[in-house]
């Protein structure tokens, strides 16, 4: 695992009605996550988080949810990655680190492939590890980028 320089816990709420199969839910805009390079991600379910910081119930299972992360060129850099495998509890305590890319969070989304165990108004919790664009030149060698 690479060093974590900054992190931000983002919340994706499933909405006021139970999501349907095949539905995509966009990740909302967080000002802190504009102009950043994402370098890692972890996702949690109800076994790790009893309640979200905003008081929402956390999803009980991640097995039917995938995530797609877009870069600033609208490329799907991480495409339909199973969020189950992004939960450190399922992968020996590790988090997944990526070769950093410039994140476009508002075009990134989660996909619901299986609604089993999901309910309206629950949230998927994403802990995003990132480097700000202004710090990128300083730290990029740490992440094997920019050679």
* Residues in touch with other proteins (CB under 8 A): 1-9, 32, 42, 44, 47-55, 88-95, 125, 127
In the sheet that holds 24-26, the strands lie side by side as 24-26, 109-112, 65-70, 76-82
Distance in Å, CB of 136 to other proteins, minimum? 15
The token pair at 5 is: 């320089």
Q: Which of 64, 53, 67 is nearest to 105 (CA)?
A: 67
Please, which residue, 51 or 75, has the CB nearer to other proteins?
Answer: 51
Which three-class secondary structure state does DSSP give residue 56?
A: coil
Distance in Å, CB of 127 to other proteins, minimum? 7
Distance in Å, CB of 23 to other proteins, minimum? 26
Please, which residue, 23 or 132, has the CB nearer to other proteins?
Answer: 132
Please, which residue, 30 or 81, has the CB nearer to other proteins?
Answer: 30
Provide the 8-state DSSP code for 136. H
């Amino acid at each position: 695992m690479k060093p974590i320089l900054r992190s931000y816990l983002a919340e994706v709420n499933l909405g006021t009605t139970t999501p349907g199969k095949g539905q995509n839910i966009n990740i909302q805009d967080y000002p802190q996550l504009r102009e950043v390079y994402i370098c890692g991600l972890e996702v949690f379910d109800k076994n790790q988080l009893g309640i979200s910081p905003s008081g929402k119930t956390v999803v009980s299972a991640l097995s039917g949810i995938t995530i797609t992360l877009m870069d600033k060129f609208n490329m799907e850099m991480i495409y339909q990655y199973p969020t189950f495998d992004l939960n450190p509890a399922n992968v020996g305590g590790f988090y997944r680190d990526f070769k950093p890319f410039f994140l476009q969070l508002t075009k990134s989304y989660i996909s619901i492939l299986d609604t089993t165990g999901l309910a309206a108004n629950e949230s998927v919790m994403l802990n995003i590890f990132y480097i700000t664009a202004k710090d990128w030149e300083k730290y990029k060698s740490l992440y094997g980028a920019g050679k």
